[in-house]
Structure 1
Amino acid sequence: MTQLTPLMPLLVLFSALSCILTVAASLAGDTQNLIRVKAQLSDPDGKLDDWVPGSGHNPCNWTGITCDRDNHSVLAVNLSVFGVSGGFPFGFCSIRTLQNLSLSANLINGSLQTNTLSLCSHLHVLELHDNLLVGTLPEFQPEFTDLRILNLINNNFTGDIPASFGRFPSLQVLMLSGNLLTGTIPKFLGNLTELTRLELAINPLKLGELPSEIGNLTKLQTLFAPQCNIRGRLPDSIGNLVSLMNLDLSTNFLSGPIPASIGGLRSVTQIELYENHLFGELPESIGNLTSLRNLDLSLNAFTGKIPETIAGLQLESLNLNDNLLSGELPPILASNPKLRQFKIFNNSFSGSLPENLGRYSDLAEVDVSTNTFSGELPKFLCYQKKLWNFIAMANHFSGNLPDTLNECHSLGYVRIEFNELDGVVSDKFWGLTGLYFVTMNNNRFNGSVSPSISAATKFSTLKISSNSFSGELPSAICKLTNLSSLDVSRNKFSGDLPPCITELKILQRLKMEENMFSGEIPSAVSSWTQLTELNLSHNGITGRIPPQLGYLPVLNYLDLSENILTGEIPSELTKLRLNQFNVSNNKLYGKIPAGFDCSPFNLGLVGNPNLCSPDLDHFPTCSKPRSPTPILIAILSVCVVLVLGSVLSYLKFRSKAFGGKTKRLCRVTTFQRVGFNEEEVMRSLTKENLIATGGSGHVYKVKLKTGQTVAVKKLWGGARKPETESVFLSEVGTLGRIRHGNIVKLVFCCSGEDSRILGYEYMENGSLGDCLHAEKVGPLADWAKRYDIAVGSAHGLAYLHHDCAPAIVHRDVKSNNILLDKDWTPLVADFGLAKTLHPDMGAGGGAMSRIAGSYGYIAPEYAYTLQVTEKSDVYSFGVVLLELITGKSPNDSSFGENTDIVKWVREAAMSSPEGGEGSNDEGFCGTNLCQIIDPRIDPSTCNYEEIQKVLKVALLCTAAFPINRPSMRRVVELLRDQKPSRPSKMISL
């Protein structure tokens, strides 16, 4: 037995003291390193204020620092979402005990240098996603043996993936999505045998195959690589990924059949292969994947039937839409108790739907449209009371609506048009309170529309045209105050037009043609400030055309033909900017107003034999007006005396009531330094100063006595209209508190008893939409000018989304709401629909009661969900980018029916060889992409590479799924990277 020497206690004490001194020295060194790094970073929000040196300040207690419990060494630095900026802080890596470094979602910029990054070789975790890093990816030295997580998502890295990325012996997570990488997916990634997660999505990689070496990653659980230009066949080795749970290779250029080896993915729960060029029959081996819950093979070219083995899986979602599949659906599909989402539209399926569909599962979304199904709709569709989206349009379904739909209170979105459905629609169905979008046109329904529809107050769209509905249109329809589109045309409705229909104040389309309506057009139409289309043709409507129609600010389609209208054509209608005007075959008389007396309106005026015109050949010349009779002169004289007396009495009363002083017109609030008074502004709101009319009011150009010019918007209806007050408060609440060089400035506002007025800085060059869609584009013939407008607008939206707290969603981004000052600087304007996203709204944003925005710019998911998120604005901005490139409006008639600018451009891109890639202008113009460029752009101002890169950004922004769209901050960086250089390769247009 060893005996303790007298020195042993002293040695133990010395060892302990030495350890304490070492820890203290280490902490002191860590403190100095942290303080040095803090000094190099910008910390505008003061998140690092507690990083203060001194004996009483232990770094282990500082914000973002994690230490070892035993020896108090610094193990982790986490400054994610701190708002710090500056170059990459290599000084953190001087802390030798540091294992985890997380600087995500900040403004870290510059590049990662290979030599200085070697200081970080002891790290286990390096997370730098959502920053502003640029340059090529760094080469990692062999010393990085312990690195397990490398996350560089959403930066601006370019070039190839370096060879050193295949030499991480311990790496488990590699995330490179959302960068500007241009190489191919390298084979050496197959060396990372410890990988559990690999993400390469949304990178402009060169077209290349998924290497077969990927099958070596047997521990891989997630392979996420959509939108990175993968082509060719799926390798057979894909079946070796026995641990894989999530496979997403969507939105690429994969071709050929799915290999049977896919049945080896025994752990997989989700397979996303949509939007590729895959073909052939669905492999039976997919039926072996008993853990599979979500299968999306849509937007490919698969043929044949759905195998029983696949139909029998316990899937939660099955998306096979937009393929070439055929045959009948296996009945076993309806036995799945987990099925919630079922989408097989745009195929060639036939037969009837399984009769038990919906009986055993919580079906929420069903879309079987555009097939050749027949028979009755399944009676159990909403048996579990969870169905909210049902689309069965363009089939051959017949019979009545099933009773479960009449009791389906979860139902919100229904499209069953273009079928052979018949019978009377139940009162219960009309009164379902969740309905907001219903189209049942082109069927054989009969009976009347029930007054119970008044309970469905969420309705935004109702289309029931081309049926046999009859009776009067119930006044209960006027309770649907969120209705924006109503189409009851081509039915057998009769009776007067409900006068209360003018209470539907946000109507955008009203179609009632080809019925038996009678009575007069309601005169109180001034509330229809958002109406763009009015069609009352082919009815028995009598009376006069209300002059008030001429003051509807955005009406561009007016058809009142084939009625019994009398009187003169109101001259007020010439104020409208009409694409369609038809009052033919009525009993109108008198002189055709100047503006309609030209050949384009000929056909819209015929069939009124008592109309006359001095200029139109097909109409008689108007006779000279008779001199007024003495009786008429006497009457007019009396009227003049009465009017003058009334005016004098009013002025006398006002002088007494207000002590001889003029009553104050409104309460003024100023937001900028400007000298004026409200009377000066009010006197200037005249017809001569009117420069624009929008959806919310008239806009006037007002020059103040100080010499300053402002744009003044007088809102429709003044303070009496709730929607006017909402627009006014939104504009003031938003613009009154924000400042940015690309956001229009609110100069003042006036709030009076009967008026709401907003004053803005005046924009000399008007709106981008007006400039871009004019016959001559002037300075916008310069591509660089268009590019600057794109970048500036993106800066403005990025400020709203990322720099305002809480964030602001514009909700009506369009070219007409981007104004241009004298220097052509773009400023985002019109915040009447803007919404603030408070933190308690959650990830889904705020749910709106109706669809807001402008047709052609609205994100596709918005119509389904009514959820407001920043990604809705991103989609709209993508449409604006496409306008800048093509010069066309979002719904240009040249696109054809049911095609907008997004679909038109995507079809051009998809039909171009290899997505339109090329290394010279000859290669580019050998594709369809060359045909989409605005021919008015001066070829000497741009080259094809620049336009093609901006086009890629636009296509990213208009991705169908919000998750695939970049943030506006990311859009700014992507556009910055495309900044036009001096033209070298010109486009030959």
Structure 2
Amino acid sequence: MAAAALLVVVVMLAAAGDGAAAALDAQAAYLARMKREFAGPAMARWDLSSSPAPAEYCRFPGISCDDADFNITGIDVTSWRLTGKLPLGLCSSLPSLREVRMAFNDVRGGFPAALLNNCSSQLEVLNISYAGVSGPIPADLLSAMAALRVLDASNNLFTGAFPAMALSNLTSLEVLNLNENPGFDHWRPPESMTKLRNLKVLILSTTSMRGGVPAWLGNMTALTDLELSGNFLTGPIPDTLASLVNLRLLELYYNELDGAIPDELGNLTALVDIDLSENMLTGGIPEPLCALPNLRVLQLYTNSLTGEIPAALGNSTKLEILSVYRNLLTGSLPADLGRYSPEFNVLEVSENSLTGPLPGFACAGGKLQYILVLSNLLTGPIPPEYGGCSPLLRFRLSNNHLSGSVPQGVFALPHVSIIDLSYNHFEGSIPPAIAGAKNLTSLFAAGNRLSGEIPPEIGDAWSLVKLDLSNNLIGGEIPGPAMAKLGRLNQLSLQGNRLTGEIPSELAELRSLNVLNLSENALSGKIPEALCELLPNSLDFAGNNLSGPVPAALIKEGLLESVAGNPGLCVAFRLNLSDPAMPLCDGNGGGRGGIRMAGRRSWIVVAVCAVVGVAAVMALARRWVRRRWAATGAGEEDGTSSSPASGWSAYEVTSFHKLSFDQHEIIEALIDKNIVGHGGSGTVYKIELSSGELVAVKKLWVSSSNKSGSKQNKYGAGAGEEEEDRELRTEVETLGSIRHKNIVKLYCCYSGADSKLLVYEYMPNGNLWDALHAGDNGDDGGLLFLDWPARHRVAMGVAQGLAYLHHDLTLPIVHRDIKTSNILLDAAFEPKVADFGIAKVLQAHSAIAGATTTTIAGTYGYLAPEYAYSSKATTKCDVYSFGVVLMELATGKKPIEPEFGETRDIVQWVAAKVAAAAEAEALDTRLAWSPYKEEMVQALRVAVRCTCSIPGLRPAMADVVQMLADAGPATGRNAKDPKPV
């Protein structure tokens, strides 16, 4: 019997050993299947070619095993850039599996079905964030996964019902993160979620949540992190949140909350960061909240808060960020603000009604980077300590009542990118120390009492892009050689000063210059002909003592207004009797003696008139013949369509520039052979004028109803067709008011009963889409012949054009359809933004982020996510679209490519590369030889910031220009982080 028993034991042990071996073999087999299912070079690190022993595959990257039995307990392939499906049998093959981390990959097939099999009782951690997962989250799957402690499925593309009830059953959950999944159906959180007693982190931002902030959240006392931002929450903030004694982070920004901030939030003694920005909150900032001992970040911007900023913030020892801009706050800033906070970093209180002095201790800790106090009622001098605040990046004080001399050290701050002193009462001069401001891109000091001269050392501040010293008391000469060193300068505004001497011809070397305003000074001498090479930039020399002939280019461009008020100037000819009164130049180029010369030239005038008269008669005869030809249908028998459009004599002309052609020359050229393209709104023609100049003409589609006899408006539409003509009116009104070198020039508009025509400057190199992607079908197109500096120049030009639209006009303009096909390229491949047919001119009271439109416009792949589901068109939508364009320039890829996956676009693809520090893998392979890889990587990082899913975190276009300048090929420096403006 004993022998028999021993035999049984031996057999059982043998069977157990065989079972354990089989289990280990199943683990290796599963890893092999996973390697086959997922495409990606990182999988080569799993060498499964020789049936490895458990001790071997437990050493594979991303694989964790227990020490005793070699059972796989974790799979972590985060940022491996894999594409594929998770094979079935995950937990049955890996029975000891506790953690699966697959973030920043491309997981196909929806929420992984492999988790349905035997994972319900063992899996504790699941992270599939940034994985492009689409479709619904199966509620039955979630309900069964009772062991889950961490579920992170953030930043995906889920749709359908939010699985709130299923989540309520996961009572072991400690971390729940479904952030940035706006495709869920609108939902309200059920009170059953209070069953999650162990939950510490609850992140449900941008998940289409509606209703009020649930009062029962106060019962979830284990919470340390509560984030519900970017939803549609309404009503007040419940005071029950004060029961969350462990709470460290509270984010409710970008909602529609109203009412007062509860004083009871001052009971949250563990609170470190609170952000209630972009709501409709009223009342004051609670003193108890500001007295919290651990508070580091207080962000309440863009609300309707009133009262004073509590003095308790001045006693804080932890405060790092104070951001309360765009409220209705009054009173003084706390005098000790920053005095006891060694990490104080951001002071942002702009657009309030604050009074009193600037806080003298703001930079006491030596970490302050942002002083943003513009548009208040502040008084007194700039504290001298600010001149030694070397970490400062942005220093903006404009539109206050500050006075005294600006500390010299302020102009020499080594890292500052913006100094904005405009519209105060500052005195003194700009010191030579400005040579030390190597990172300064914008110096604004308009509307003060600055005096002295412009120091030649300003040329050493070589990063300058914008310089505005207008309306001061600055005298002396303009230091031409110094200014010529500022190769990036885009704006030079010196009007309204006391400048003397001549206009330096060296200014013509500033090829990036867009605005040059020297008006209302005491400048003398001639206008340098070389400056005309900067046209069509904005030039203004009015109100000086200039003399001599006006350069012909200024006359031809219709810019005599820009030189008015200079009695010594004269013109060699006039294009229009409506031009400002200015004498004809005499034979020596002066403005006197023109009448004496008239008699001697009179016979020439008679002869010229005779020749012109004969030519006019011949032209009229020729046009009469052509019209008769068209009216009788001649030319139709051979199948051609050479007749001009009918009804040309009824056109009403609205011109925006001096024209070198008439409407007849345009109309007669609208024939099939001149068609170069068709768009959603009409046909585009390329027309060569008799002068040899080329123009582009957009002929808008018109409905048959437009040909009726109804009463016409000034755009040629019937009274019932105003909606149909909105696109034309918008484009005409927008482009007609714009003068910028990076925005396509609209010469004129012809409006008639049968057709509506827009005449533009012609761009010989087509659009950026064709330039980038023409070679995708195997031809030799694309930007193969343009290096990264050329592409960077394209990006800079577009960014400068958009910054002009957003920041430099009285009413900001939102383009709403920025894409590479709407970016045209001139002969030198300089970009020009085009197609404003769906642009939106924001009214002054709607120029903030809440401005809305009634219809969705734009192009798939370029649309900002919030515009797609909320119809809110803001400048930040343009920023997002520009980010996509920048990604195209750096990667050479289209916004939608098969390699991104069925549900992903270039934004998600690039974001994953950047997050994985693998940006180089995303760069255009056609530029593999480029020595500018680091600069291209920096551009990609700027693009990622531009395409942030939260609009408020995207930089303004003015900041984008500066980031691109910082990341340009000339320097290779890192782009700056997108901080407050």
The verdict on a shared fold, with TM-score over 0.5 as the criterion, is yes
Q: Cα deviation per residue 1:749-772 (whole Å; 9 max; x = unaligned)?
A: xxxxxxxxxxxxx97348999979
Find the residue that maps to 2:25 and give its secondary structure: helix
Is 1:31–2:32 an aligned residue pair?
no
Amino acid at match of 1:951: S
> How far 1:183 sits from its partner (Å)?
1.6
Amino acid at match of 1:351: G
Find the residue that maps to 1:468 and give its secondary structure: coil
Partners of 1:487 and 1:332 lie apart in 2 by: 37
Within 5 Å, which residues of 2 pair with 1:158-237?
Answer: 158-162=159-163, 163-179=165-181, 180-181=183-184, 182-205=186-209, 207-237=210-240
TM-score normalised to the size of structure 2?
Answer: 0.64
Alignment-derived partner of residue 670 in structure 2: none
Partners of 2:97 and 2:449 lie apart in 1 by: 73
Alignment-derived partner of residue 151 in structure 1: 152
> How far 1:953 sits from its partner (Å)?
9.1
> How far 1:190 sits from its partner (Å)?
2.6
The percentage of counterpart residues that share the same residue type is 24
Within 5 Å, which residues of 2 pair with 1:572-587?
Answer: 584-587=580-583
Find the residue that maps to 1:543 and give its secondary structure: strand
Alignment-derived partner of residue 926 in structure 1: none
Q: Cα deviation per residue 1:294-324 (whole Å; 9 max; x = unaligned)?
A: 1111111110111222332231111111111
Partner residue of 1:345 out of 350, 356, 359: 350
Partners of 1:516 and 1:32 lie apart in 2 by: 86
Amino acid at match of 1:52: L
Is 1:764–2:668 an aligned residue pair?
no
Cα 1:954–1:304 change in 2 (3 A) is closer
Alignment-derived partner of residue 391 in structure 1: 396
Cα 1:214–1:341 change in 2 (3 A) is same
**Matched pairs, number:** 722
Within 5 Å, which residues of 2 pair with 1:554-569?
Answer: 559-563=562-566, 564-569=568-573
Find the residue that maps to 2:240 and give its secondary structure: helix
Partner residue of 1:43 out of 27, 39, 42: 39
Amino acid at match of 2:146: T
Is 1:857–2:802 an aligned residue pair?
yes
Is 1:322–2:316 an aligned residue pair?
no
Cα 1:186–1:527 change in 2 (3 A) is farther
CA contact under 8 A between 2:258 and 2:282: conserved in structure 1?
yes
Q: Cα deviation per residue 1:453-508 (whole Å; 9 max; x = unaligned)?
A: 12211111100001111111112122111211110011111110111111112111
> How far 1:326 sits from its partner (Å)?
0.3
Partners of 1:19 and 1:89 lie apart in 2 by: 27
Partners of 1:9 and 1:962 lie apart in 2 by: 78
Partners of 1:769 and 1:123 lie apart in 2 by: 58
> How far 1:198 sits from its partner (Å)?
1.6
Is 1:491–2:441 an aligned residue pair?
no
Cα 1:303–1:875 change in 2 (3 A) is farther
Alignment-derived partner of residue 522 in structure 1: 528
> How far 1:584 sits from its partner (Å)?
2.4
CA contact under 8 A between 1:79 and 1:103: conserved in structure 2?
yes
Find the residue that maps to 1:238 and give its secondary structure: helix
Is 1:304–2:307 an aligned residue pair?
yes
Within 5 Å, which residues of 2 pair with 1:574-653?
Answer: 584-588=580-584, 624-625=604-605
Find the residue that maps to 2:351 and give its secondary structure: coil
Partners of 2:513 and 2:453 lie apart in 1 by: 22
Cα 1:375–1:291 change in 2 (3 A) is same
Alignment-derived partner of residue 290 in structure 1: 293
Alignment-derived partner of residue 261 in structure 2: 258
> How far 1:954 sits from its partner (Å)?
7.6
CA contact under 8 A between 2:199 and 2:220: conserved in structure 1?
yes
Cα 1:623–1:515 change in 2 (3 A) is farther
CA contact under 8 A between 1:562 and 1:586: conserved in structure 2?
no
Cα 1:848–1:371 change in 2 (3 A) is farther
Question: Which structure is higher in strand share?
Answer: 1
Alignment-derived partner of residue 89 in structure 1: 87
Q: Cα deviation per residue 1:537-591 (whole Å; 9 max; x = unaligned)?
A: 2222223333466999xx99982222233342598xx9xxxxxx9962433469x
Amino acid at match of 1:586: M
CA contact under 8 A between 1:525 and 1:548: conserved in structure 2?
no
CA contact under 8 A between 2:38 and 2:85: conserved in structure 1?
no
Alignment-derived partner of residue 477 in structure 1: 483
Partner residue of 2:517 out of 511, 518, 531: 511
Is 1:126–2:126 an aligned residue pair?
yes
Partners of 1:493 and 1:167 lie apart in 2 by: 76
CA contact under 8 A between 1:185 and 1:209: conserved in structure 2?
no
Find the residue that maps to 2:30 and give its secondary structure: helix
Cα 1:294–1:399 change in 2 (3 A) is same
Alignment-derived partner of residue 340 in structure 2: 336
CA contact under 8 A between 2:851 and 2:873: conserved in structure 1?
no
Alignment-derived partner of residue 74 in structure 1: 72
Unpaired runs of 5+ in structure 1?
575-580, 591-606, 612-620, 629-710, 712-761, 786-814, 838-845, 864-872, 910-928, 938-944, 978-989
> How far 1:160 sits from its partner (Å)?
3.0
Partners of 1:160 and 1:447 lie apart in 2 by: 68
Partners of 1:849 and 1:290 lie apart in 2 by: 50
> How far 1:276 sits from its partner (Å)?
0.8
CA contact under 8 A between 1:542 and 1:566: conserved in structure 2?
yes
Partners of 1:860 and 1:333 lie apart in 2 by: 37
CA contact under 8 A between 2:134 and 2:156: conserved in structure 1?
yes
Partners of 2:84 and 2:261 lie apart in 1 by: 47
Is 1:532–2:532 an aligned residue pair?
no
> How far 1:375 sits from its partner (Å)?
1.7
Q: Cα deviation per residue 1:225-263 (whole Å; 9 max; x = unaligned)?
A: 221112211111211222222222111111111112211
Cα 1:622–1:973 change in 2 (3 A) is farther
> How far 1:126 sits from its partner (Å)?
1.4
Partners of 1:966 and 1:136 lie apart in 2 by: 32
CA contact under 8 A between 1:149 and 1:172: conserved in structure 2?
yes
Cα 1:170–1:933 change in 2 (3 A) is closer
CA contact under 8 A between 1:60 and 1:72: conserved in structure 2?
yes
Partners of 1:966 and 1:156 lie apart in 2 by: 23
Amino acid at match of 1:471: G
Partners of 1:289 and 1:774 lie apart in 2 by: 64
> How far 1:445 sits from its partner (Å)?
1.1
Find the residue that maps to 2:549 and give its secondary structure: coil
Alignment-derived partner of residue 713 in structure 2: none
Alignment-derived partner of residue 268 in structure 1: 271
Q: Cα deviation per residue 1:659-699 (whole Å; 9 max; x = unaligned)?
A: xxxxxxxxxxxxxxxxxxxxxxxxxxxxxxxxxxxxxxxxx
> How far 1:373 sits from its partner (Å)?
1.1
CA contact under 8 A between 2:84 and 2:107: conserved in structure 1?
yes
Amino acid at match of 1:101: V
Partners of 1:217 and 1:848 lie apart in 2 by: 53
Q: Cα deviation per residue 1:937-974 (whole Å; 9 max; x = unaligned)?
A: 9xxxxxxx998637369887568999999997799958
Q: Cα deviation per residue 1:764-809 (whole Å; 9 max; x = unaligned)?
A: 34899997998764499999x9xxxxxxxxxxxxxxxxxxxxxxxx
Q: Cα deviation per residue 1:386-420 (whole Å; 9 max; x = unaligned)?
A: 22311111111111112442553333311111111
Amino acid at match of 1:147: L
Query: Looking at both structures, which has the greater relative contact order when contacts are Cα pairs under 8 Å and sequence separation is at least 6?
Result: 2
Cα 1:955–1:436 change in 2 (3 A) is closer
The alignment yields a C-alpha RMSD, in angstroms, of 5.2
Partners of 1:859 and 1:292 lie apart in 2 by: 39
Alignment-derived partner of residue 463 in structure 2: 458
Partners of 1:178 and 1:887 lie apart in 2 by: 32
CA contact under 8 A between 1:317 and 1:342: conserved in structure 2?
yes
Find the residue that maps to 1:77 and give its secondary structure: strand
Partners of 1:550 and 1:359 lie apart in 2 by: 56
Alignment-derived partner of residue 251 in structure 2: 248
